[in-house]
Amino acid sequence: MFNILVVDDSETMRAAIRKVVGMSGVPVGEFLEAGNGMEALAVLEDAWVDVILTDINMPEMNGIEFLKRVKAEEVYRNIPVIIITTEASQARMDEAEGLGASGYVKKPFLPETIKMILTDVLEKAYAQRMKEIPAEAAVESDEEMDF
Ligand SMILES: [Mg+2]
């Protein structure tokens, strides 16, 4: 089971990501949510998190600043961080990668894209635990989720 933290200032987007993750076949333990980087850091203090999916544009603390904070903390730095954002410039992607992001998804996204990147990242980070997951968990919708 994997505890998943989704960080996005849009509640609708968090719900959409939650739905996609639910359909992905990844066994979810706890599904945790935060509306910005500050809230996400508070969640990390209280709960064990296996993977983080974060937006970039958010009030209080944006996703880039949050990513920096995660990677600067000994106890958090091994948690894979996947960026899900409308900011699709190559410079932004390079910056995120340079800061240690494990993946980058552009909004609007296809459910299949999230599934692929999430399972890929989890496989790399937690090879042993991923072996127990059935290989072919179908994601039904191939429509873009655009909010
Ligand atoms: Mg946002």
Tokens standing for residue 147 = 């909010």
Helix axes 11-23, 111-125, angle to 10 degrees: 70
Of the chain, the end-to-end C-alpha distance in Å amounts to 28
Asked whether the predicted pLDDT for residue 90 surpasses 80, the reply is yes
Asked whether the predicted pLDDT for residue 126 surpasses 90, the reply is no
Distance, CA 56 to ligand 1 centroid (Å)? 6
**Span 69-87, pLDDT tens digits:** 999 999 999 999 999 999 8
DSSP, collapsed to helix, strand or coil, labels residue 64 as helix
**Residue 123 to residue 16: CA distance in whole angstroms:** 23
Q: What's the CATH number of domain 52-62+72-111, 3.40.50.800, 3.40.50.2300, 3.30.700.30, 3.40.30.120?
A: 3.40.50.2300
Q: How confident is the model at residue 146 (pLDDT cuts 50, 70, 90)?
A: low
Distance, CA 55 to ligand 1 centroid (Å)? 6
Q: Identify the residue whose tokens are 């904070």.
A: 69
Distance, CA 11 to ligand 1 centroid (Å)? 10
Alpha-carbon distances, residue 13 vs 10, 26, 34, 48, 120 (angstroms)? 5, 19, 11, 22, 22
pLDDT in the model for residue 129: 76
Q: Which residue has the higher pLDDT, 133 or 106?
A: 106
Which pTM value belongs to this model?
A: 0.89
Spell out the domain ranges in the chain: 52-62+72-111
Distance, CA 63 to ligand 1 centroid (Å)? 9
Asked whether the predicted pLDDT for residue 134 surpasses 70, the reply is no
Distance, CA 9 to ligand 1 centroid (Å)? 5
Q: Residue 81 forms beta bridges with which residues? A: 52
Asked whether the predicted pLDDT for residue 89 surpasses 80, the reply is yes
